[in-house]
Structure 1
Amino acid sequence: MTRFGILRNPGRRRRSVVLIALLATVGGVVSVAPATADAPPAGQVYSDVADGFAGTSGLGVERTTGGEGGETVTVTDYESLVRYATAPEPYVIRVGGEITVTPYGTEIRVASDKTIVGVGLVGHIVNGGFFLGDGVHNVIIRNLTIRDTLMEEDDPDDKDFDYDGIQLDNAHHVWIDHNTITRMNDGLIDSRKDTTYLTVSWNVLAENNKSFGIGWTDNVTSRITIHHNWIRDTNQRNPSADNIAYAHLYNNYLQNVRSTGNHSRGATKMVLENSYFDNVKDPYYLDAAAELRESGNIVVNSTGKRDSGGSAFNPSDFYSYTLDSAADIPALLGTEAGPQADIGQ
């Protein structure tokens, strides 16, 4: 059985297994060469194929493949990361260590056709994040820890410094997968304006005021899949989903949420399936003009709204997916969400 983000049946799709020989390090860029391995490493095999709406066609893009077909580079310093992330050519950019962003709070402007992936557990982006602007498309951000732009004393309500983990403005075909994003000043993820064909999967979003905001537009065109994310110790926007044509949320784990859970806002059509809510205020609810169809969810230790209404849409009309049991979600995401040692190797 295949769970999206994790390849359970290696007969269907195998990851290429290589041993990396370091040949040279010049200016923070590591050249690498593959060597054969006698046997695959133990542990899980993670699919490198985008699923959900990021895996579907539209706006001239067949599916999200990131920097596939471009050169692979490994970066270990900020200048090299910026150089390749902003380049016009496709690149697979492996982040091979902890990179501190300067100036503090800067969002690196990622260009189209890029994969930015942490090497195992060592890829950290500290004191900054990423920005995908108007028309940027076909981007994968994966297996990174993005952290620490908080301005607690100067900006306790996150109103003066917009230091997001990942901000997307009118981008499309983006896959955000297996990251930990934490302690940022403003949003951990802000999917703004008409960003669409977006999948956010297997991430840990934690220890923040604003978790995941979607909207800032009067148009109702966005298509977004949000699955297998562990959202914990946050306050608002978990997510706040405004004016989304198709919002599919499934198998997420919300834990210790102080203000609002899954909010279907504006004219959003939301399908919410098999998620687990523990100690969440207002686990799920909708505005008067919105729709929210829910099934299979578990709510414990929580208070407030659990409202639904409308037929929304059928996600299976757009792509195939497999639901995990809601009861299994806390344990599953406790080990499988966030960066993984086997990804990016």
Structure 2
Amino acid sequence: MRRPVAVRTLAAGAATALAATMGLTALAMPAAQAATGSANGFASSNGGTTGGAGGQTVRATSGTAIHTALCNRASSSTPIIIEVSGTINHGNTAKVSGPSCNTAAGVIELKQISNVTIVGVGSAVFDQVGIHIREASNIIIQNVTVKNVKKSGSPTSNGGDAIGMESGVRNVWVDHVTLEASGGESEGFDGLFDMKDNTQYVTLSYSILRNSGRGGLIGSSESDRSNGFVTFHHNRYENIDSRAPLLRGGVAHIYNNHYVNLRESGINSRAGAKAKVENNYFEDSKDVLGTFYTDQAGYWQVAGNIFDNVTWSSRSGDNQPAGPNPTSNTTVSIPYSYSLDGASCVPDVVRQTAGANTGLRVSNGSCTPQSPPPTTSPTSSPTSNPTSTPTANPTPGGTNLSLGAGADGSSKGSGTSYGNVLDGSLSTYWSPSGSTGRISVKWDSATTVSKVNVREASGGGAIGAWRLVNNDTGAVLATGSGSGVISFPSTSLKKINFEITSATGTPRIAELETYAG
């Protein structure tokens, strides 16, 4: 059985103790793909954004464990991939000290560091805890939800920003995340996605920003014009008052986004900012593009956008909407290649791809969502997360150890049950509440397992990528795609997780059989 690697001792042994008690597991795996897909947009410029690719992978189930993982590195630039699962909150997010980190309590602090990936595995929720990126570079954040971060009231975190960047930040890719609040500034919330004080080369893709007074900004004031080179694509802005986004100086590329119910204003280009705005779908909104609340003009190049039930106010003073018939007043050069979906299909494509826990699906540029290729690891030794291609072999010989065991999971669809995967019947099944999720088999005492047979019920969506995980240690036993028999080195454990990370539609697992040999 693969075991966690030792945690490097920090001052006074604090990190070792925290690793043992606060939900940090180091997975014994070689260099792995940091996140599904690769950074695009402006995050692909300036040398590109690779995050923690090539570094150690660890599993964290608390904010303190995330900080511990950063502090355990040999240096502040040593690559690391932090897989996050569960709920991160104030109660489990403490400051950790060490030479390779600079953290704080009550906020995920990525400060004065580089080469880090934070990726959600299953459900990963940052509840009232923001992610603060400061004096940092080459950062990837993927497949997480950040919600209800406050700057006033209690508790507070990250100045009220869900994700905030400042002070010389370079090359950040934020992908397939959900950022949400429960009101505006009067309720204690600030921006969902803010960049200021010399932040450059950022991409926000396939994400949901909703239920907030402020979507986000580039530049903290009219004089803060050192930011820019930011791409926003295939995102959904919903129930936002303004700042979708607010641009002060710099260059932004905004394409294939779906905007719904922008109540006061949308893309606010001002203070000399230049935005290329193309093939977006604006719906049931007001003043979706222009220069607002300032006499310092911004600029835009527009093409291919659809304005569906959009209202425009009259131009006067510091209120200069681009409509009702927006036309370009500048040109913007884009240095990277990209594929545009037609604006008419953007609502449907974004609905299927944007946000956390949507299977990391992306568009192919022809209005068709695609599942990402499965992430696999080398198979040179039993400790290297072997890639297993399920086969259509007959049921393995011996006793199905799942019969008489217990089951749980990350979620369950209406009318389905975790226990259905253990009842020996192909007519009953478990489904996640969406296209991805976890189903587990568990025993009261350690049980040796070397094969899992995943049997699908008819009528469900096809399983895409998956991971088989030893829940006791967090070690990945196998990765692959599809259903069938999965073989891996014999492992003694009390709980095994089958994690579906992508699927076409909603999968149906009739049986999750386990065998000793």
TM range, smaller chain:
0.7 to 0.9
1 or 2 for the larger relative contact order (CA 8 Å, sep ≥6)? Answer: 1
- Deviation per CA, 1:163-204: give whole Å up to 9, x if none: 211110031100011000111721111111220011111110
CA contact (8 A) 1:213 1:240 kept: yes
1:336, distance to aligned residue in structure 2 (A): 0.5
CA contact (8 A) 1:220 1:268 kept: no
> Which range is displaced more, 123-132 or 305-314?
305-314
1:165 paired with 2:162, answer yes
Cα RMSD (Å): 2.8
Residues 47/91 of structure 1: CA separation in 2 closer, same or farther (3 Å cut) = closer
Take 1:146 and 1:75, find their aligned partners in 2: how far apart are those partners?
16
**Corresponding position of 1:54:** 43
Superposed counterparts of 1:81-230, under 5 Å: 81-85=66-70, 88=76, 89-102=78-91, 106-110=106-110, 111-120=113-122, 122-134=123-135, 136-150=136-150, 154=153, 162-169=159-166, 170-183=168-181, 185-216=189-220, 217-220=223-226, 222-230=228-236
Q: Tell me how many residue pairs correspond in the alignment.
A: 302
1:34, distance to aligned residue in structure 2 (A): 6.8
Partner amino acid for 2:171? H
Take 1:74 and 1:93, find their aligned partners in 2: how far apart are those partners?
6
Take 1:132 and 1:220, find their aligned partners in 2: how far apart are those partners?
16
- Deviation per CA, 1:219-244: give whole Å up to 9, x if none: 35521111111000111111011111
CA contact (8 A) 1:132 1:167 kept: yes
Structure 2 counterpart SS, 1:68: coil
How does the TM-score come out when normalised to structure 1? 0.80
1:311 paired with 2:330, answer yes
> Which range is displaced more, 212-221 or 96-105?
96-105
1:84, distance to aligned residue in structure 2 (A): 2.3
1:276 paired with 2:281, answer yes
CA contact (8 A) 2:140 2:172 kept: yes
Structure 1 counterpart SS, 2:310: coil
Flag structure 1 segments of 5+ consecutive residues without an equivalent. Answer: 1-20, 36-45
How does the TM-score come out when normalised to structure 2? 0.54
Superposed counterparts of 1:300-339, under 5 Å: 300-304=308-312, 305=321, 306=323, 307-315=326-334, 318-339=335-356
Structure 1 counterpart SS, 2:159: coil
1:47, distance to aligned residue in structure 2 (A): 4.8
Structure 2 counterpart SS, 1:328: helix
Residues 32/342 of structure 1: CA separation in 2 closer, same or farther (3 Å cut) = farther
1:268, distance to aligned residue in structure 2 (A): 0.8
CA contact (8 A) 1:192 1:214 kept: yes
Residues 210/77 of structure 1: CA separation in 2 closer, same or farther (3 Å cut) = same
- Deviation per CA, 1:223-279: give whole Å up to 9, x if none: 1111111000111111011111x2110001110111111111111111000001111
CA contact (8 A) 2:219 2:226 kept: no
CA contact (8 A) 1:128 1:163 kept: no
Partner amino acid for 1:114? V
Partner amino acid for 1:131? H
Residues 47/96 of structure 1: CA separation in 2 closer, same or farther (3 Å cut) = closer
1:151, distance to aligned residue in structure 2 (A): 7.2
Alignment counterpart, residue 261 of structure 2, candidates 256, 265, 272: 256
Superposed counterparts of 1:24-43, under 5 Å: 26-27=20-21, 28-32=23-27
Flag structure 2 segments of 5+ consecutive residues without an equivalent. Answer: 5-18, 95-104, 183-188, 313-320, 361-374, 376-466, 468-517
- Deviation per CA, 1:59-115: give whole Å up to 9, x if none: xxx111001111100101221112224651321000021121357993321131100
Residues 31/341 of structure 1: CA separation in 2 closer, same or farther (3 Å cut) = farther
CA contact (8 A) 2:278 2:304 kept: yes
State which structure, 1 or 2, has the greater radius of gyration over its C-alpha atoms.
Answer: 2
Take 1:269 and 1:241, find their aligned partners in 2: how far apart are those partners?
8
Take 1:79 and 1:220, find their aligned partners in 2: how far apart are those partners?
33
CA contact (8 A) 1:101 1:125 kept: no
Alignment counterpart, residue 290 of structure 1, candidates 298, 311, 316: 298
